A = this chain, B = another copy of it.
Amino acid sequence: MKLSARNRIKGKVVEVKKGAVAAQVRVDIGGGTVVTSMVTVDAVEDLGVREGGEVSVVIKSTDVMLAE
């Protein structure tokens, strides 16, 4: 699948925390950077996301802010 979202970075899952509906997943993308994602619990289970597993983070360009 090719996606319009411009940003996709591979990483390793370092934490999965599940609530009733929302889940927080933290992904180490290398270089000392850990990215935090909040998705549905359904998505975590459907993708089989688990600590130590490989996953990519995907981000639309309109969702990337800039800071100085």
**Which A residues are within 8 Å of any B CB, using their own CB?**
1-9, 17-25, 27, 29-31, 33, 35-40, 42-44, 46-49, 54-68
The complex is assembled from copies of this chain, and their number is 6
Report B-chain residues with C-beta under 8 Å of the C-beta of A62: 38, 60, 62
Chain B residues near A18: list those with CB within 8 A. Answer: 20-21
Q: Are A58's CB and B66's CB within 8 A?
A: yes
What are 26 A-B interface contacts by the 8 Å CB criterion? A1-B3, A2-B46, A2-B67, A2-B68, A3-B3, A3-B66, A3-B67, A4-B47, A4-B66, A6-B40, A6-B43, A8-B67, A22-B22, A29-B31, A38-B61, A38-B64, A47-B68, A49-B68, A56-B67, A57-B67, A58-B64, A58-B66, A58-B67, A59-B63, A60-B65, A62-B62
